[in-house]
Every structure is written in structure tokens, then in C-alpha cells.
Amino acid sequence: MSDAKDFVRTIRGVVGEDSFVGLHIPDITDVEKQKVRECLDSTFVSSVGSFVGEFEQSIAELTGAGYGVAVSNGTSALQVALELAGVGAGDDVIVPTLSFVATANAVSHAGAQPYFVDSDEETLGLSVEAVEAVLAAARSTPEGLVNGVTGRRIGAIVPMHTLGHPMRIVELVALADAYGIPVVEDAAESLGSRAGTSHTGTFGTLGILSFNGNKILTTGGGGMILTSDEELARRARHVTTTAKLPHRWEFEHDEVAYNYRMPNLNAALGVAQLKRLPEFLAAKRRLADRYRDAFEDLSGVHFLSEPDGTESNYWLCAVRVTGGVERRDELLEATNDAGLQCRPFWNLLHRQAPYRHLPHAPTPVADALQASVVCIPSSPALAAA
């Protein structure tokens, strides 16, 4: 087994010898500054302005989603998407335990409870077999399918495309359809990723994207609800903009709603960043290819490639290491000491303080992945043309 020095040397060989290399640094040029200045000059900096509509339209076209509704962040996008899918108080929502905490928090904000399920070794996403086991053990009732473990209605399933790698979404949607459960895709990490020829986030009833500063494309903070259903899109826009009825001057609102609209200032940054997405995707693919080649000869380290039949955005490049969590931590320590910002996966959600009291499904694969994956520097600038 190669040692930590070899690991550091291999990464340095790909990213260069510069002192500090971040995990993922936003790539902002004069193109972005120009657009943001244009927005500032217009004085339409808040939730009214032309960049929001332009950004939504461009994302809808790029993803083929039909409709995009721009909101304040990915978490609020997921909360509203779940509510529009019919999730409410007392429900369970099936969520991968291997995800960022936002996935579970959005379920909680929607009044429901996450039911954590295992992951798939090959795709790093929700295990279709593990979900099937939960559904097969559920009871059919007049209110819907009831989780055999918790006695709560299963309101939705939220698959997530981990690090940008598409999970087995076609199989999952077919399974969910067979049980009549809506799928809401957390595609926060996978803008630009496709399963077959379709964009992630467009397979379920609704999907969401995030444009946080660490994602492949940023608006500073921001998110997008995706759907092909015109009525759901109209509802999404309505409830994220205080449910105000259109009128030239009256303030009439027809339900309790949210102020979750994306500000125009953020959308301006998004419009400029989106024009550069092809450049980011190409750079990340080049970086992934370089890492894969470089790690080829290193024993006990395996570069994580896109699953067969998919096209990943390679948002974060990552390796799986043998030797247990001790070796993982040894490599994390050596890389971070050497100015290479590397990170483990998130701690599993069913062990986090707000969620550890909840019942959950067995999680052997997620446990193994959590103890063995190291995310490595992935900024597009590291492989600029």
C-alpha cells in the first residue's frame, strides 16, 4: 500500500506545486463582474428584474426541465419542491443517509421526517434495492403507503446525485411509480450531469439545483426548482413570492407563503456563470482524467469515475482508499498539512444530532463509503485549457 507521501505527491503532480490548493474555488472573471455591475446600475437588485427570468429560462433550456423557478438557495428549493409534491406533517421522506445535511433539513422544514436509507457502492447514490426493501415492507392504507418501521405515510423519495455522479434514477423512478410515491430529485451537486441523455433533476415530479459558492456554478447563494409540470411551476413561483396576486398596486396575498425568490443581483451572476458552464464541465473532465491516470499506479487508492451510462459533471473529484478510517484520516492529515484542501464525505445523517433519535434502515454501504472516500481539490482552474 502506498504511503501518505505518495498520495500528496500524486495530487501535487496533477494540481501543481503552488502552496495552497482549495477544494473548490469559484471561478469569477470580468464577464461576471460586468453582469453584476449592469444589474447594480439598473437599480433592480432585489427580487424583481430581468436577470431572474433570463436565468430561469436558460437553466430550463439547458436541463430540458420545461420550467425553472429561481429561489434563495437549494435548501429552500427542496423544501418547496417537497411541499408541492404533497409532503406534509406526519410524513416520512426516504433520504440517503450519505448526503449533505440540507437534504434532511429540507424534509424537516416541510414538516416531515427523514427516513434514512443506505447507498449504492457503484454510484454513491441512494440504493434502489434498499429503497425497494423499505417499500416492500410498507403497508398499503387509504392514506397511502405506510412505513412498516415508523407507521408514518411515505410522502416522497429524495435521491441525490453524489459529487455530481448520477444515481440509478431511471430504476428508482420506475420503482417509485409502481408504489405511487413521488420522487423529488436533489440535484444540488449535479448541474451538467446526465443519466443517459437526460439531465439530472428532470426525472422526478420535481427536482432542485443549488448555486451555492462551492457548487459547479454559483450565484453566491441560490437554488432552482425544476419541473415539467406547468401548474407545479406556477405554484412554485407563487408560494416563493409571498403568494401575491398580480395587480398594478394592490397588496393582496391568497395564502401563507414564503419570501424565497432569488434576488436579481444573484441571478445576474448566474447568467454570466452559466455562459461559462461548458468551459467548467470540460475543465473538470480534464482534471478527472488527469487524476485517474495519476492514481493508476498508486496501490490502495481508487479514483471514483462516473457510473456506466452516465455523464458526470465531476463536481468534486474523489478517491476511495483501502486500509480503513485510520488510513483515510492519515491521508486527510497529510494532504491538509501540505496545503491541499481535502475532505471526507459528510458524517452520515442518521448519526447527526438533529436526526440520531430517528429510526432508520440498515446502512452498511454508506458506512463503508463514509470511512473510505476522500474528496480532492477540484476547482476548474486546476485544469484550465
Question: What letter represents residue 199's amino acid?
Answer: H
DSSP state of 3: -
- Residue identified by cell 433533476 is 201
Of 166 and 298, nearer to ligand PLP (C-beta) is 166
Compute the C-alpha angle 230/211/116, nearest 5°. 80
Which residues lie closer than 8 Å to 346 by C-beta, 6 or more apart?
98, 99, 100, 101, 370
Of 186 and 306, nearer to ligand PLP (C-beta) is 186
Of 73 and 379, nearer to ligand PLP (C-beta) is 73
Least distance (Å) between residue 68 CB and ligand PLP:
15
The size of the chain, in residues, is 385
Least distance (Å) between residue 310 CB and ligand PLP:
17
Least distance (Å) between residue 112 CB and ligand PLP:
16
Of 27 and 189, nearer to ligand PLP (C-beta) is 189
Of 295 and 315, nearer to ligand PLP (C-beta) is 315
**Chain positions contacting ligand PLP, by CB under 6 A:** 73-75, 99-100, 102-103, 160, 186, 188-189, 210, 212, 223
| 205, HSE (Cβ side, Cα atoms, 13 Å) | 23
Least distance (Å) between residue 23 CB and ligand PLP:
13
Least distance (Å) between residue 349 CB and ligand PLP:
10
Least distance (Å) between residue 318 CB and ligand PLP:
13
Distance CA 21, CA 25 (A): 9
Least distance (Å) between residue 175 CB and ligand PLP:
21
Which residues lie closer than 8 Å to 231 by C-beta, 6 or more apart?
none
Least distance (Å) between residue 363 CB and ligand PLP:
17
Distance CA 82, CA 79 (A): 5
Distance CA 36, CA 289 (A): 34
Q: Which residue is nearest to ligand PLP (CB)?
A: 74
Of 191 and 287, nearer to ligand PLP (C-beta) is 191
Of 44 and 346, nearer to ligand PLP (C-beta) is 346
Which residues lie closer than 8 Å to 142 by C-beta, 6 or more apart?
none
Phi-psi region of 243 (alpha: psi -120 to 50; beta: other; left: phi over 0): left
List alpha helices for the chain, DSSP H. Answer: 4-15, 30-42, 50-63, 74-84, 101-109, 128-136, 169-179, 230-239, 264-275, 277-295, 324-337, 364-370
Of 99 and 119, nearer to ligand PLP (C-beta) is 99
